[in-house]
Every structure is written in structure tokens, then in C-alpha cells.
Copies of this chain bind each other. A is one copy, B any other.
Amino acid sequence: MKKTIIVFSGDMDKVMAAFIIANGAAAMGDEVSMFFTFWGLNALRKAKKVKVRKNFIEKLFGWMMPRGAEKLPLSKMNFAGMGKQMMKMIMKKKNVNSLPELIEMARDMGVKILACSMSMDVMGIKKEELIDGVEIAGVATYLGEADEANVNLFI
């Protein structure tokens, strides 16, 4: 049965947990919808700067927030990125998929990736700045999907 996950957090460890659950469910044949909102949107940003029109505040926000999955910090023991690097190193050694790989797998398995329109507006993030395959949606879409699902998580 369908699963939905709201990804509010922009921390690497939490976003990874979201994708591990989503991919696991998709592998077992479930439909999965992930809703990225607030800081979670940062996980969907392209690594490269995209030319779009932004006002001053939007530029500032865009510059201060991590651009893409590779840049997300750890929620704990980040130590200005050193903890994060260590974690990534360990994961590589242990053959755990990296976050960009998990996102790739999710898309390949047909996990629906939705970005919250209101958060995009507030943070000044434009559709062109997000990775391919992301759909824009609002809270009504989320609630419609959640009504059809038997597992709904907020991460």
C-alpha cells in the first residue's frame, strides 16, 4: 500500500533515513510519495548554481542554505562539516549508498518526489534550481496522497 513521507529536515542523516525507507518500500512494490518542504528542499537543489531572477533576500537565502544533497550537514556531530565527511567516508567503506545515489535510485524506482510550492516561494527557490523529475505540489496534494496511504511519516 502507498506510503508518504514529508521531508522537512535538511540534515543529511535524516534525509538519508527518508530515502532508505522510501526505497525499501518501493522495492517491495509500494507506491511512495515524498514531500519536500522547508529545509528539506535543499536536498533537491542542483549542485550547480542556476541562473534565475531573484531579489536580494532570495539570493541571500539561496547562498546561505546548502545547495544540494552533497552539501547537507549532519544533524549531530557535524563539526563544521568534518563529522559529515567522516560519516560519508565510513558509509563508502561499508558500501552504504550515498545520498545522491539513494535519490537516483528513488527516481529510477518511480518514487514520486514533490516539492512544496509555498516553501519554494518563501525561500525563493525556483523550479529550474531543482533536480529533474521533481513535481511542485501543495498541502492539498499531500493530504490526498496521505489519505490513500497506510504509513505517513514526518521527518
Stoichiometry, as copies per complex, reads 3
Whether A146 pairs with B140 at a CB distance below 8 angstroms is no
Tell whether, in the assembled complex, residue B14 and residue A142 are in contact, meaning their CB atoms are under 8 Å apart. Answer: no
A122 touches B91 (CB 8 A): yes
The 27 sampled A-B contact pairs (Cβ below 8 Å) are A6-B21, A6-B153, A8-B14, A10-B76, A13-B39, A17-B37, A20-B139, A21-B139, A21-B142, A21-B143, A24-B140, A24-B143, A28-B140, A28-B143, A30-B143, A39-B75, A39-B76, A90-B122, A91-B122, A96-B121, A96-B122, A143-B151, A146-B150, A149-B151, A151-B152, A153-B153, A154-B154
Add 20 more A-B contacts to A6-B153, A57-B90 (CB < 8 A).
A6-B21, A8-B13, A8-B17, A8-B155, A10-B76, A13-B38, A17-B154, A25-B143, A28-B143, A57-B89, A64-B77, A90-B122, A96-B121, A96-B122, A146-B150, A146-B151, A147-B150, A147-B151, A149-B151, A154-B154
